[in-house]
Structure 1
Amino acid sequence: MTTIHLHQTTTATPEQFIAGLTDFGPGRKELFGNSADNYLEVHNRGPHDADVTEGSSGIWERLHYDWSDPHHVVLTTTDSNLWGGASSHTYTLTPQPSGKTDVDVVVVRDGKNLKGKVLAGVLGVVGSRVLGKQFKKSVEAIEARNHGASGPDAQGTGG
């Protein structure tokens, strides 16, 4: 099992970030590069939770999204071709006095088969760098969607 911690500071409010995180419409890949439209299937969506299958490049997972707490969003893996057990994504959104929001993410990857265990091991070595770059792009895309652009002072510290 691999645990990866990521951090960014964004100009988006927690509400704006959650709106981007839970936008399961076409073009989701523009916000989240590992969520291709041809994998995306919304099984159920309520006011504060959703059951969604997403993925890309041969890797998919079905996730239960829970955003009932506007500062703590939990995505729990319920099925996947690679991930099982304790696999999840947990977003903690902390508003700052400056108007910015700190976004901390904990990604847990628990391989359920040989391919998943090998990939989890690889992520243990390069995950912060690789997933950190993708996370930074996602934060910037959410900022651009809400503010028209992201400036240099909107950059976080990466993962």
Structure 2
Amino acid sequence: MSTIHLQRTTTATPEQYVAALTDFGPGRSKLFANSDDAYLKVHRRGVSQADVTEGSGGIWERLHYDWSDPNRIVLTTADSNVWDGASGHIYTFRRQPDGTTDIDVVVVRDGKNLMGRLLGFVLGTIGRRVLEKAFENSVKAIEAQNENVKHPETDLSDLAA
């Protein structure tokens, strides 16, 4: 079993990050590279919980999302072709006095078969950087998305008409 800890400070609020993480619509892969739209299937969604199958590159998992705590979101693996039920992700958010948010992520990967055990080993060693880069890219994409909402581009040609 591999446990990977990731941390990043962002200008996004916890609400903005949770909103992006729980948006299961088309284009999700633009924010989360390991969630290819071809794998995405929402089985059930409530106010603060969802059951979703997602994945990429031949690896999929059905995750139970729980964001009932505004400072924490828990993704628990319910089924997968490589990961066992002890797998999942926990995102913890801490607001900072300067308006930024610290995000701590714990990723647990428990392989349920040979492929899963090999992938878990790789992720726990040399593959950690791949997860770090994916997390960093998702944080940057969410920040950019929120910045565009704050300052939408105005097409001045529309005003001339």
SS for the counterpart of 1:126 is: coil
Mapped partners of 1:140, 1:16: distance in 2: 12
1:60 aligns with 2:60: yes
Give the aligned partner of residue 22 of structure 1.
22
With 127-136 and 58-67 compared, the bigger mean Cα shift is at: 127-136
Mapped partners of 1:141, 1:19: distance in 2: 13
Mapped partners of 2:148, 2:7: distance in 1: 22
Deviation string, structure 1 residues 69-95 (Cα, Å, up to 9, x no partner): 010100000000000131010000110
Q: Which runs of 4+ in 1 moved over 4 A?
A: none
Give the aligned partner of residue 153 of structure 1.
none
1:36 aligns with 2:22: no
Mapped partners of 1:13, 1:63: distance in 2: 23
Deviation of 1:115 (Å): 0.4
Deviation of 1:125 (Å): 0.6
Mapped partners of 2:6, 2:126: distance in 1: 13
Paired AA for residue 76 in structure 1: T
Mapped partners of 1:34, 1:58: distance in 2: 11
Deviation of 1:128 (Å): 2.5
SS for the counterpart of 1:92 is: strand
Structure 1 residues without counterparts, runs of 5 or longer: 150-159
The residue correspondences of 1:5-154 to structure 2 (distance < 5 A) are 5-148=5-148
Deviation string, structure 1 residues 24-45 (Cα, Å, up to 9, x no partner): 0000000000000000000000
Aligned length: 149
With 124-133 and 77-86 compared, the bigger mean Cα shift is at: 124-133
Deviation of 1:124 (Å): 1.1
Instruction: Work out whether residues 79 and 85 of structure 2, in 8 Å CA contact, stay in contact via their aligned partners in 1.
Output: no
Mapped partners of 1:131, 1:148: distance in 2: 26
SS for the counterpart of 1:17 is: helix
Query: Structure 1-normalised TM-score?
Result: 0.92
Deviation of 1:127 (Å): 3.3
| Percent of aligned pairs with the same amino acid | 68
User: Of the two structures, which has the highest relative contact order with CA contacts closer than 8 Å and spacing of 6 or more?
Assistant: 1
Structure 2 residues without counterparts, runs of 5 or longer: 150-161
Instruction: Work out whether residues 5 and 128 of structure 1, in 8 Å CA contact, stay in contact via their aligned partners in 2.
Output: no
The structure with the larger Rg is: 2
Instruction: Work out whether residues 92 and 103 of structure 1, in 8 Å CA contact, stay in contact via their aligned partners in 2.
Output: yes
